Copies of this chain bind each other. A is one copy, B any other.
């Protein structure tokens, strides 16, 4: 992940994100990647994700997900979720995420998520539109 643009979303681990073991419940940690993608749309693409769905009538459901949980996240952690693009295929996008706690250079979690671009009216896959492809390529 060198020599390229990266986006970092700033999130806070909330009271209700913790589980019985006192760390972030891992399915809720997976949620951070989706929230970071939502922030990425709002911050760096010309349209936010709600408009992507309602106006462009497109959506990006996940088809595949891989996560490495390297260090536990705890209540109150102000985390950064780095968003990068591995590949933009015909209708798929491969996202890369890394979660950092402030002051740490080793990530607390890594993820690789494959999303498929779908038509929200038919839920059938559809080519990634050029405007989105161009924006995403800058983060590859």
A interface vs B, CB < 8 Å?
12, 14-16, 18-23, 25-28, 30-31, 33-35, 38, 48-51, 53, 59, 61-69, 72, 75-76, 120, 123
Q: Are A34 and B27 in contact (CB under 8 A)?
A: yes
Number of copies: 4
Q: Are A65 and B66 in contact (CB under 8 A)?
A: yes
Write the nearest CB–CB distance from A70 to chain B, whole angstroms.
Answer: 8
Using CB atoms, name the residue of chain B closest to A30. Answer: B27
Using CB atoms, name the residue of chain B closest to A25. Answer: B16
Q: Are A20 and B20 in contact (CB under 8 A)?
A: no
Write the nearest CB–CB distance from A5 to chain B, whole angstroms.
Answer: 23
Write the nearest CB–CB distance from A24 to chain B, whole angstroms.
Answer: 10
Please indicate the chain B residues that have their CB under 8 angstroms from the CB of A38 in the complex. Answer: 12, 14-15
For the complex of A and B, the 4 pairs showing the least CB-CB separation, nearest first, are: A50-B76, A27-B31, A27-B30, A16-B25
Bound CA–CA A109/B131 (angstroms)? 31
**Of B16, B31, B48, B66, the contact of A66 (CB 8 Å cutoff):** B66
Using CB atoms, name the residue of chain B closest to A75. Answer: B20
Please indicate the chain B residues that have their CB under 8 angstroms from the CB of A27 in the complex. Answer: 16, 27-28, 30-31, 33-34
Write the nearest CB–CB distance from A19 to chain B, whole angstroms.
Answer: 5
Please indicate the chain B residues that have their CB under 8 angstroms from the CB of A31 in the complex. Answer: 16, 25, 27
**Of B26, B61, B120, the contact of A62 (CB 8 Å cutoff):** B26
